[in-house]
Chains A and B, each alone.
Chain A
């Protein structure tokens, strides 16, 4: 039950795009199309941005997109806005009814 691996930080200027990676194994990220991404602002509950690798819940802007290649998933935020500055977490089904989260990536909008 090891956590998924995310870079601790990422940054970009307003209007630019940034991609955050989430590395797992063939037993979790690579084995299932059950990767999710969450945005969390300070002292707030997480907000679901992406589920099942690339799907967006109603109300999530198309600027947020997800993908997966092998054992690594990615979240791309396009057209960066100041409000996008937050922590981002990936998660994946890990088998045996477990859910794994990544360590989180702090996104800074320069």
Chain B
């Protein structure tokens, strides 16, 4: 069974940094693209970033470019999102998702809440 479990969320002040992690199990980790998708409170889903199998290709939504960095450790079956210069509008539940092909996501984690507030 595919499992994805996010961690690392919490309360951070504007301008601060936070590192999210996603621990994966139940599949061959280094065979798949992985993504971060977020959802602001009461709002819709927003794709944030994705990374290819070997970690060399990374793509971001415009609003986080230069502030967020996606990475992965295939030896530890883990995905990361390093977030810096955080803004109030980054407040959201952040989901880790496994790309199922054709920009679709069959497997999702439960999410971790990031709150940016003073």
B is bound to A: yes
Say which residue of A45, A96, A99, A102 sits within 8 Å of B108 (CB atoms): A45
CB proximity of A97 to chain B, nearest CB, Å:
4
- Contact between B47 and A34, CB atoms less than 8 A apart: no
- Contact between A36 and B47, CB atoms less than 8 A apart: no
Given A100-B47, A101-B47, residue A34 in contact with residue B103 (CB < 8 A): yes
Chain B residues whose CB sits within 8 angstroms of the CB of A30 once the complex forms: none
Which residue of chain A has the shortest Cβ distance to B95 in the bound complex? A45
A98, B67: Cα distance in complex, Å: 17
Say which residue of A32, A36, A96, A103 sits within 8 Å of B44 (CB atoms): A103
A10 interface hit (Cβ, 8 Å): no
CB proximity of A63 to chain B, nearest CB, Å:
19
A84 interface hit (Cβ, 8 Å): no
CB proximity of B7 to chain A, nearest CB, Å:
15
Task: Report whether over half of chain B's contact residues are helix, strand or loop; otherwise say mixed.
Answer: strand
Range class of the A interface residue count: 20 to 34
Interface residues of B in 44-75 (CB under 8 A from A): 44-47, 50, 57, 59, 61-62
A101, B101: Cα distance in complex, Å: 16
A92 interface hit (Cβ, 8 Å): yes
A32, B103: Cα distance in complex, Å: 10
Interface centre among B45, B62, B106, B108 (most CB of A within 10 A): B45
Chain A residues whose CB sits within 8 angstroms of the CB of B45 once the complex forms: 38, 40, 46, 89, 91, 101, 104
- Contact between A48 and B104, CB atoms less than 8 A apart: yes
Chain A residues whose CB sits within 8 angstroms of the CB of B50 once the complex forms: 97, 99
Which residue of chain A has the shortest Cβ distance to B48 in the bound complex? A99
Say which residue of B103, B109, B110 sits within 8 Å of A99 (CB atoms): B103
